[in-house]
Amino acid sequence: MGSVCLLSKYQKLSSWKGDLAKMTHLQAGLSPETIEKARLELNENPDVLHQDIQQVRDMIITRPDIGFLRTDDAFILRFLRARKFHQADAFRLLAQYFQYRQLNLDMFKNFKADDPGIKRALIDGFPGVLENRDHYGRKILLLFAANWDQSRNSFTDILRAILLSLEVLIEDAELQINGFILIIDWSNFSFKQASKLTPSILKLAIEGLQDSFPARFGGVHFVNQPWYIHALYTLIKPFLKDKTRKRIFLHGNNLNSLHQLIHPEFLPSEFGGTLPPYDMGTWARTLLGPDYSDENDYTHTSYNAMHVKHTSSNLERECSPKPMKRSQSVVEAGTLKHEEKGESENTQPLLALD
């Protein structure tokens, strides 16, 4: 009898160890600090991780109108992290992710780095991605708005390049937890360029980034913005969630206020940082390979299905990078200018759009 009880306890212990290994493999590679951060800030509990994921998966049956093309544990987990493990909110984001792709099929045809439109946008620096992360472990994305040559890149292709870049970056579990920062430099962005930012395409971008993607944005920082960008911002505010608006900071040409939130040692010199000027081809070379402008077949093996194939000489000439306009930012004394004047100024960056 005693041996039977002992065997039963052993079997239960083995089963428990197997379940624990199955659940915690999803946290493999995370630093102890990041695991603790996920526990404290996102309510992530490795003991019930599998149950949380399954609860979201069980909700799929409630939306037969949507084709859920991927439902594995690792994929669903990023949506749970983006919504702090609120299962209903995570499922809503998952559904919106696939619905956005169903409603905008043309955007996601040939959705890879060798697509001509995406390739041109990447080569022109849309987006820029800094190699190092900030002091909170967040990845910093850059947009130099004046580099938008509207005869060369459509806004939709720039948006596609940004979404593709995020798809690559969000594979990193550390970034699922720590999140991202976006800095938009509006130096030399003309009124003519701004006139092309119609409400419909801005709404498309907001729906794709705010409502349909499992990324946690700690802040969106505008620098050197002219008056007509303020006017555009007023136009899109009704489409923004309240928590999104609280994470948008308008710095003008006062980079001291930017440095209150992102330390200079993590920024290139265009933003008053101590790093060298940003090389616009950095991220394109990461996705396309080190010889991205050559007329040869090449593949960057770090990312699946992102293969750049042979293109015609005309396309290569079209894709060759043009001289890039640089930031005209200056560092001046001043205080942080937040878009919500009535709110208290918070210099601690927040970590989520949700």
- Tell me the pLDDT tens digit for each residue of 284-301: 999 998 646 643 333 333
Regarding whether 120 and 86 lie in a shared domain, the answer is no
Domain that holds residue 166: 110-295
Q: Which residue from 148, 168, 167, 166 is spatially nearest to 158, judged by alpha carbons?
A: 148
Average pLDDT, the chain: 82
pLDDT score for 69: 96
pLDDT score for 64: 97
Q: Indicate the pairing of strand 307-308 with strand 298-299.
A: antiparallel
Regarding whether 175 and 221 lie in a shared domain, the answer is yes
In a domain, residue 97? The reply is: yes
Domain boundary among 83, 103, 123: 103
Tokens (6 digits) for 4: 């039977």
Confidence of residue 85 (pLDDT cuts 50, 70, 90): very high
Regarding whether 120 and 50 lie in a shared domain, the answer is no
Identify the residue whose tokens are 């996601």. Answer: 108
pLDDT score for 25: 83
Number of domains in the chain: 2
Q: What percent of the chain has pLDDT over 90?
A: 69
Average pLDDT over residues 117-134: 96
Q: Give the Cα separation of 39 and 56 in Å (integer).
A: 19
pTM above 0.85? Answer: no
Q: Indicate the pairing of strand 307-308 with strand 217-223.
A: unpaired
Regarding whether 269 and 139 lie in a shared domain, the answer is yes
Regarding whether 97 and 115 lie in a shared domain, the answer is no
Identify the residue whose tokens are 């939709």. Answer: 156
Confidence of residue 6 (pLDDT cuts 50, 70, 90): very low
Regarding whether 135 and 32 lie in a shared domain, the answer is no
Confidence of residue 120 (pLDDT cuts 50, 70, 90): very high
Q: Give the Cα separation of 315 and 228 in Å (integer).
A: 34
Angle made by CA atoms 131, 132, 133, in degrees to the nearest 5: 125
Dihedral through CA 239, CA 242, CA 243, CA 246, nearest 10? 100
In a domain, residue 301? The reply is: no
DSSP 59: G
Burial class for 326, CB neighbours closer than 10 Å (0-12, 13-18, 19+)? middle
Regarding whether 67 and 114 lie in a shared domain, the answer is no
Model confidence at 224: pLDDT above 80? yes
Which tops the pLDDT comparison, 21 or 79? 79
Model confidence at 227: pLDDT above 90? yes
Model confidence at 270: pLDDT above 70? yes
Average pLDDT over residues 176-198: 96
Q: DSSP string spanning 61-129?
A: GG-TTS------HHHHHHHHHHTTT-HHHHHHHHHHHHHHHHHTGGGGTT-STTSHHHHHHHHTTSSEE
pLDDT score for 309: 34
CATH number at residue 69: 1.10.8.20
**Within the chain, what is the greatest distance between any pair of CA atoms?**
86
